[in-house]
Amino acid sequence: MSDPAQTLEQLRQALGDDAVVTGTNISQRHYSDWTGHAPACPAALLLPRTTAHVASALRICNAARQPVVPQGGMTGLAGGAVPRASDIALSLERLRGIEELDPAAATVSVLAGTPLEDIQQAALNAGFVFPLDLGARGSCQIGGNIATNAGGNAVIRYGMTRDLVLGLEVVLADGRVLDLRNKMIKNNCGYDLKQCFIGSEGTLGVITRAVLKLAPQPGPTSTLLCALPDYASAVSLLRRIQRSVGTPQAYELMWQDFFRLGVSWLENPTAPMSLDYPLYVLLESAVPGEPLETLLEQAFADGEVLDAVLAGSQAQARGLWKIREATAEFPLRMTPLNFDVSLPIGLIGDFVERCRTRLEQHWPGNHSVYFGHIGDSNLHLTVDCTSLPQPAPILDIEELVYSAVGELGGSVSAEHGIGLLKREFLHHSVGPEALAVMHQLKDCLDPNGILNPGKIFV
């Protein structure tokens, strides 16, 4: 590595003094992400205003073998944007704004530092929706969403972030600018290079611009809570709905434990139905109530649904969602250890039983709750650390859960990425041959290893 002071001087000359921040002038929000994991003040914070500045910065850092950590809105949940004290952080926050909304093509072209919510709003204003949606919408930036291939609330209907990206502009580690912008759904002109950068957590290139797909605005939705006898019914009900009225906007499964917790935390803890059913699903569909009711009658007759409540008003719909949104209160009411995993849809029920049994064997009386977007194979489980021996055996629990995921062919990261926090568990889902090829790809695109070193791989 070259002399760090000399590198900083080169960066100041190339980007301007105001774009190179050091020491206590660096806001603490650049120290860690929403996990608060391993906060550190980076050696410098770069605030480029243009793609050309990003390119200059990377060219200088690459020549100096200076590690660079790309940063978006810092809302990640895997530590992917957390710097070490010797790293230079590169924030995209000044590359902000919507450059073009093309209503004929149904696309929006944006700078990487644009907050997700700004893009959603621009889409609405033009009569579309940008269907990527997640809790951090006001703070997260689209560049980070793309770099982590964010999931969120609408995946069952619209897919992951990858499915919403038509084109990118990316700066490579050596400062070359790759213009991969594209507005076409169909485009088979050689390798689809943008795919390499989506979900690569800032380790292969820095995303500076994106062209995104917009979707038509859906009509009003119906909200329905159903009680189910078993996990198999959750899957068959979903398939029944898809066949008869189309894929729902949301299909949120809650196991009994979660449902009871959610109801008990309501301001007015009145259950919309009995608390004794094994499973509950909250679903949102863009079809009016009547076809849904016909469908429900058949599901009742087949024993697939045991009880159901169709929200009669917006207020009632919000009330049902409040139960599912108990997750927002986890940090306030318990010490949550959260998992974000995915499994083949048919195996999620078995996985829950397996996991629950093993946790009970090791830590009798522990409190864990299960819920998930099962239509897109995603299960969340949360263990309350206050129900465990202290200090809580975090790593042991993680190993227990992730090895059970691996046994069933699942993924240790459904939507949050690997970052720093899941590197040790990646082997449960990725074999040595695939890992070796990932390293090859990394060496190919970033031979000096300056981009986000230490992330994804141990």
For the segment 59-78, give every residue that binds a copy of itself (CB under 8 A): none
Q: Which of 3, 5, 17, 190 binds a copy of itself (CB under 8 A)?
A: 190
Name which of residues 195 to 214 contact a copy of itself (CB under 8 A).
195-196, 198-200, 204
Rounded distance, CA 430 to CA 156, Å? 24
Q: Which of 239, 318, 333, 362 binds a copy of itself (CB under 8 A)?
A: 239
Q: Which is nearer to a copy of itself, 74 or 160 (CB)?
A: 160
Number of residues interacting with a copy of itself: please give it, by CB under 8 A: 89
Name which of residues 127 to 186 contact a copy of itself (CB under 8 A).
127, 148-149, 151, 155-156, 159-160, 162-163, 172, 176-180, 182-186
Please report how close the Cβ of residue 402 comes to a copy of itself at its closest, in angstroms. 11
Q: Which is nearer to a copy of itself, 109 or 366 (CB)?
A: 109
Using the rule CB under 8 A, is 124 a contact of a copy of itself?
A: no
Name which of residues 346 to 405 contact a copy of itself (CB under 8 A).
346-347, 373, 375-378
Please report how close the Cβ of residue 197 comes to a copy of itself at its closest, in angstroms. 10
Q: Which of 40, 52, 105, 309 binds a copy of itself (CB under 8 A)?
A: 105
Please report how close the Cβ of residue 199 comes to a copy of itself at its closest, in angstroms. 6
Using the rule CB under 8 A, is 99 a contact of a copy of itself?
A: no
278 CB-contact burial (10 Å; exposed 0-12 / middle 13-18 / buried 19+): middle
Point out which span in 23-31, 296-304, 322-330, 413-421 binds a copy of itself (CB under 8 A). 413-421
User: If we measure between CA atoms, which residue out of 38, 141, 131, 151 comes closest to residue 87?
Assistant: 38
Please report how close the Cβ of residue 8 comes to a copy of itself at its closest, in angstroms. 28
Using the rule CB under 8 A, is 242 a contact of a copy of itself?
A: yes
Q: Which is nearer to a copy of itself, 113 or 205 (CB)?
A: 205
Q: Which is nearer to a copy of itself, 43 or 172 (CB)?
A: 172
Q: Which is nearer to a copy of itself, 55 or 320 (CB)?
A: 55
Please report how close the Cβ of residue 142 comes to a copy of itself at its closest, in angstroms. 17
Please report how close the Cβ of residue 229 comes to a copy of itself at its closest, in angstroms. 16
Q: Which of 223, 233, 413, 452 binds a copy of itself (CB under 8 A)?
A: 413
Q: Strands 88-91, 68-71: parallel, antiparallel or unpaired by DSSP?
A: parallel
Neighbour tally for 23: CB within 10 Å: 9
Q: Which is nearer to a copy of itself, 44 or 381 (CB)?
A: 381
Name which of residues 298 to 337 contact a copy of itself (CB under 8 A).
none
Using the rule CB under 8 A, is 418 a contact of a copy of itself?
A: yes
Q: Which is nearer to a copy of itself, 4 or 135 (CB)?
A: 135
Site string for a copy of itself, 439-458 (x = CB under 8 A): -xx-xxx----------xx-
Q: Which of 222, 285, 366, 411 binds a copy of itself (CB under 8 A)?
A: 411
Give the amino acid at 76: G
